[in-house]
Amino acid sequence: TADEIFAQLTQNIARGAKGIIWSGFDAALARKHPDLAVAIRDCGRVLRALSSGLLSSEPWDCKPQAPEKINVTALSGRDRLVLALFNSDYVVGSPRYAWITAQKTEIEISAPPGMHVKAAIEAGRERTTPIEFQEKEGRIRLQAGDIQTAKIIVLGGEGLPAELAAAYEAALAEER
C-alpha cells in the first residue's frame, strides 16, 4: 500500500539512506498497480525535497522521549535535523499491514549542540506542513499529531519553511 511504501522510505532514511532504488518495480507493475506507482513517485518527491539535508547528515543520538510504539531516529546535518518517526504498532496481515494510529503524538528530543531550531516542518508525501514545537534548554518538544505509519519531520532555521516549500514545488515541476 502507499502507507507501507512511505513506511519503507522513512525506515531507509532513518538508517542513513541517501536515496532509494525501487528495483522490483517496472512499467508492467506500474500499469497493474497505479496506486503504488503514485506512492513511489510521491516518495521520490520527498527524497528530492530533502536531498540537500540528507546528503550532509549523519546519525544523531537525540535521546528521544516518545510513546512506546513510536520509533524516533535523527539525522543531523549542517543546518538541520531530520527526524524519522515510525509507528511500530501494527498487525502483519495479508495482503497488507494494519496499523493502529498513534494519536496526538508528542515527541521530545535533544538538539545537536549549537543548533537553534526556529522551524519544524513535516515533509509529507504531497506537501510540507508546519509542526508546533517548543525549545527549552536544548530539548525540543514536538506536537507530531496522529501517526498512521510514519512521518518525517525536519527541524532548522527560519528559512527552512520557504526552502522546503520551494524544493517541493521544484519536484512537482519535474513531475509534470
Mean pLDDT over residues 93-117, rounded? 90
Predicted TM-score of the model (pTM):
0.91
The angle formed by the CA atoms of residues 93, 101 and 149, to the nearest 5 degrees, is 65
* Residue 164: pLDDT band with limits 50, 70, 90: very high
Q: Which residue has better confidence, 78 or 152? A: 152
Round to whole Å and give the CA distance between 71 and 16.
Answer: 15
The string of DSSP letters for 105-158 reads EEEEEEPPTT----EEEEE-SS-EEE-EEEEETTEEEEEEEEESSEEEEEEE-T
Mean pLDDT over residues 83-94, rounded? 90
| pLDDT for the residue numbered 3 | 87
- Mention every residue, 6+ apart, whose C-beta is less than 8 A from residue 170: 48, 49
